[in-house]
């Protein structure tokens, strides 16, 4: 399995809103950084952030426009992430970087416009 395949499986776990499958794809000490928000370190901190977020979502859909893996195994994604949160549908352009160690995501950084997210949530 390539790291690109692992990212696709990770995205499928998000779309299924399966917190346990999401966390299973992460190294125990994984770094998750939604830029420009504060970085999270480790599965427990990541769970504390994503579980309530996903509990509020009735649908998640990530459309991958481009995906690339370099020789070191880092995967880059250009995506549009859609979250249906009650009556609101949030649609965000995202650039994501996934680094791997031993077949698990060791660092995950998503770059998006926080002001756009906040405006759509208002």
Average pLDDT along the chain, 122 residues, taken 10 residues at a time = 97 98 98 95 98 96 98 98 96 98 98 95 90
The vertex-69 CA angle with 82 and 38, nearest 5°, equals 50
Residue 86: DSSP 8-state? T
Structure tokens at 29: 């000490």
- Domain that residue 98 falls in: 3-121
Residues 6+ apart with CB under 8 A from 32: 26, 39, 40, 41, 45, 46, 49, 108, 109
Domain with residue 23: its CATH number is 3.10.450.50
Q: Which residues are marked as active site?
A: 81, 110
The vertex-31 CA angle with 25 and 17, nearest 5°, equals 40
Read off the pTM.
0.95
Number of structural domains in the chain: 1
Residues 6+ apart with CB under 8 A from 4: 67, 69, 75
pLDDT at site 36:
86
């Amino acid at each position: 399995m390539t790291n690109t395949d692992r990212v696709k499986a990770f995205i499928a776990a998000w779309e299924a809103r399966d917190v346990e499958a999401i966390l299973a794809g992460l190294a125990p000490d994984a770094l998750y950084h939604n830029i420009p928000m504060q970085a999270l370190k480790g599965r427990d901190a990541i769970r504390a952030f994503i579980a309530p977020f996903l509990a509020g979502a009735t649908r998640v859909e990530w459309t991958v426009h481009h995906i690339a893996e370099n020789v070191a195994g880092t995967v880059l994604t250009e995506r549009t992430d859609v979250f249906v949160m009650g009556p609101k549908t949030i649609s965000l352009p995202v650039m994501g970087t996934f680094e791997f160690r031993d077949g698990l995501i060791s660092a995950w950084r998503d770059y998006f416009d926080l002001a756009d997210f906040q405006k759509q949530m208002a």
